[in-house]
Amino acid sequence: MRRIDARSLRGLAHPLRMSILEAVELDGPATATTLAARLGENTGTISWHLRLLAEHGYLEEDVERGTKRERWWRIPGPTVLDPSEFRDDPETSRALDVYLRGLVERYFDRVRAYVDEDWPGEWQHAAALSDWRDLRLTPEQLHRLNEEIGAVIERYTGTEPAGANAERVIVQLQSFPRRS
């Protein structure tokens, strides 16, 4: 697991780079051409941003898929961001703000897309749009809660589909304190 540092955070905090990274995260390895078509951008712009993402360690070239004319890009592994590391640096806190706001918009867009789609009843029954408002936790308890939920999700990561009815599923967890 790779920790995001100040330099790489500034390299990621750009709407198009975040869209590129999300597309590769959700749909797997891709070329500049496929990403350009998917994101409505030109190939040269996408190529430039792909190289920048690779420079910061977010992507790597998938040499097993590529040819001399066609470069494929993939995610090398998970990254971890600790926002508390950047709160006292004005230059980096701006990049953090851009990144986090972009992330929240993407999470919202994913939920909206689910709500707008016509899923069969069994999937509507299985899905959840829930929140729990009455928790009172210390920072340590909230951290432990997130770790425990992450461990449960990890048990399902990479498992083979259990049948023909299996779909790709996104689990979003948003846990944060609120002022009364």
Question: pLDDT tens-digit profile of 117-173?
Answer: 999 999 999 999 998 888 999 999 999 999 999 999 989 887 776 677 888 889 988
User: Which domains are seen in the chain, by residue range?
Assistant: 2-121 (1.10.10.10)
Residue 114 Cα distances to 22, 81, 131, 176, 180, angstroms: 17, 26, 17, 23, 31
pLDDT tens digits, 26-61: 999 999 999 999 999 999 999 999 999 999 999 999
Q: Are the CB atoms for 8 and 59 separated by under 8 Å?
A: no
Task: Return d(Cα 111, Cα 174) in angstroms, integer.
Answer: 13
Are the CB atoms for 23 and 35 separated by under 8 Å? yes
